[in-house]
Structure 1
């Protein structure tokens, strides 16, 4: 993943452990960049992301990264990546004594529920005004420890690209498990199991994430009243948006608006 992107309100990189660990929340925005190769890198996709990349070569291939995909890149492996829209991504780089020995290639682990949960926790801490530095360091180190047990292969998984596209297009509408499962040609129980395994969260939790992210972008790029944003994003009312926003991001919509706009 790239080191820098342009976009609204990109939180600055957090330097931890006397500069030996760098934590960054990369925003959803277009980018084209080449990753530095000096440090060990672990990242998790918080949103779906499509584009092209080249890993340790000049051969570019298309990618469609689902939320919950954990990626470990050892020092010396160069990654070029570009995307027309990007996707929010939690990235940790470090130079610590317990780096995974002998790893010579990039590893990916899709549907990593623990990685996604820790990534979302770190996002909340990064967005929280005056977050406890000790808590941030502890969460970052817990995230880094995930590389100790990452699998060497990618298990076969159901392709949920069409479902993720439907979430992206119809998030403001009521969506039922039966509708989503029918679109995949699966029973509700099979769909619930496979989606949760592939993405790292349940369909309902993912829909809440998509709605909150949509509201977040409307706050960043416009000045609509929060009550109107709530309805446009599929929430029943403003307080419903507020509780969901706080659950996902750790702050209220009003606090977020004041932070990104100064108003």
Structure 2
């Protein structure tokens, strides 16, 4: 089933007879993008399970949130719609906009790596009609690419990660009144990250990782998910695939050696996992990089 079918903001737009979906794409890494036009409509978003960044590409001066009728949109205005938020929108006239949809798992990975913080401590602040020239420029570049072409989709994914990182640095704050219990100590998180990164070519068992923290496997798995925002096996796989991307980009190693360096038993196993994650095979990914 397509990732887009599970995105509530996407589905809310798609269900309206007033909207037109110009194009959409799954960019891999828990990311998806869409371009829309809409006119004379009303849209409500009720606690989506994903984050959404949006940019008005044209129009929007007749668009407002129902509870804030005097604040209006415009070209290059940005909106940040966090997972779990609620909003109601009125669209008068015509608007063209781009959406970037971000899974909570991808947000968690970015928070761990960029901020070295537990994702549960952080919240993406809601934002309406923001001015941010850098983010608007990234959206403009994204809208000019052919998402169906492998090399352009690669660049689209790079731009999407730039949008996420910028949002983390500018729109993320610590949750107010949060009392964090459980989880791993910062020193344990850092030790685990460094150990996993240094041993990606080796088999990594839950027992081995739990032993680093002197915890039982069951307790460790629960504490890891609290601190990293995803289970240990999914975190390790994400790091293996990220390492694979770096080797494909910066080395001429044969695909079989890339697979072994990333801890995959075979090139075919690596190929299948990579394609599931990034919507392209390792060979296509490397070829796209070479054409850039």
Task: Choose the corresponding residue for 1:65, options 117, 135, 138.
Answer: 117
Residues 1:22 and 1:167: Cα distance change in structure 2 (over 3 Å): farther
1:257 is the counterpart of 2:282 = no
Secondary structure of 2:116 counterpart: strand
Look at both structures and tell me which one has the larger radius of gyration over its CA atoms: 2
**1:247: Cα distance to partner?**
2.2
How is 1:214-233 mapped onto 2 (pairs within 5 angstroms)?
214-233=243-262
1:195 is the counterpart of 2:224 = yes
TM-score (norm 1): 0.50
Answer yes or no: is the 8 Å Cα contact 1:227–1:237 preserved in 2.
Answer: yes
Structure 2 residue aligned with 1:155: 180
Answer yes or no: is the 8 Å Cα contact 1:127–1:250 preserved in 2.
Answer: no
Structure 2 residue aligned with 1:129: 148
Structure 2 residue aligned with 1:241: 270
Is there any run of 5+ residues in structure 1 with no aligned partner, and where? 1-13, 24-37, 51-62, 76-93, 97-125, 132-146
1:21 is the counterpart of 2:59 = no
Q: Give the structure with the larger strand fraction.
A: 2
Q: CA deviation digits over 1:135-176, x for unaligned, max 9? A: xxxxxxxxxxxx9xx964262332322212211111111111
Residues 1:15 and 1:241: Cα distance change in structure 2 (over 3 Å): closer
Is there any run of 5+ residues in structure 2 with no aligned partner, and where? 1-32, 39-52, 57-76, 83-101, 131-144, 154-170
Secondary structure of 2:285 counterpart: helix
Q: CA deviation digits over 1:104-162, x for unaligned, max 9? A: xxxxxxxxxxxxxxxxxxxxxx996368xxxxxxxxxxxxxxx9xx9642623323222
Structure 2 residue aligned with 1:60: none
Distance in 1, Cα, partners of 2:121 & 2:272: 26
Answer yes or no: is the 8 Å Cα contact 2:200–2:261 preserved in 1.
Answer: no
Distance in 2, Cα, partners of 1:261 & 1:69: 40
Q: Give the structure with the larger helix fraction.
A: 2
**1:200: Cα distance to partner?**
2.4
1:208 is the counterpart of 2:234 = no
Secondary structure of 1:261 counterpart: helix
Aligned length: 161
Structure 2 residue aligned with 1:46: 109
**1:192: Cα distance to partner?**
1.0
TM-score (norm 2): 0.46
Secondary structure of 1:95 counterpart: strand
Residues 1:64 and 1:214: Cα distance change in structure 2 (over 3 Å): same
Answer yes or no: is the 8 Å Cα contact 1:235–1:241 preserved in 2.
Answer: yes
**1:16: Cα distance to partner?**
4.1
1:181 is the counterpart of 2:220 = no
Answer yes or no: is the 8 Å Cα contact 2:201–2:261 preserved in 1.
Answer: yes
Residues 1:253 and 1:70: Cα distance change in structure 2 (over 3 Å): farther
